[in-house]
A and B are shown apart, each in its own frame.
Chain A
């Protein structure tokens, strides 16, 4: 026993490390559920997609729907607004994206975005006719002063990115599925 102890690694050392390793895995496995319970639960995840009829939204009007507890901005853009969005040169944009990249082809009048400022998560103004629309005729976040243009692209202020586009699919001419 004494000679074994002085000759470096022993059977006992191995058992010691192996026991410790199994213990660590066990502790990790026990702790993980306690952390993962904080993630979105099954009822939240189940509300992943909704369908919406665009027909009542007239040209030049906006509408807000709720998806996953978040506001979805729907805007029926006028020809002039689409032309304005297309005319913006790419070098003026902080997060470059063409107007076509932000809408479904053939449905360019429908701009559908998650209405949450990419800075710290406020809901920008601009959906109501009486709202401030910012310096670029789109949306304006009152919290920290981010200005978005009529394609929902960030133009000025602390927000780093354009308003995020949700996954959408046109089920018919006017029925759209979000999520």
Chain B
């Protein structure tokens, strides 16, 4: 009986080795969804007027329905075409700061505008940044009694996201001058821990994020 067990074990090992050898040589590549270009339209925004609208993107603007379908329904199973990168242009315009991956846009419920930029220059998973922005904005409460008097209050919080989504090294990078506001921003980031895990396709072990908080009154 012992001989039979050893023989059977060897046969199983051989079958498994053959399976591994065959499958490893031809891995299935599940095609990713097509890259979707969207334009974020913020008609109420006044702060971004400082930058003149770049002339190039104008003809590339997608029609309005595509803007609606930006989040996750824009997944088409056609072979991906080479994405039109517009980031290098952004880096040219502001070389001293990290490329803003998500510009200021109204998020959350309390008149907050959020902006995200990341340390990793090649981070292309914008959907992840949308998730992070929404999560942090959800947890942000406007400090009671803060009156901005027309002037937007602005603070940038820096933190790193680990592979599993754990938040660390939270600090105020650029203070707004209002301690309450800085505190509320820090608190929003801290209670958002853990964030969603980093995308599988991202190779780095952690992601440094500069999160801009802007508040212009309720």
A and B associate in one complex: no
Residues of B whose CB lies within 8 Å of any CB of A are: none
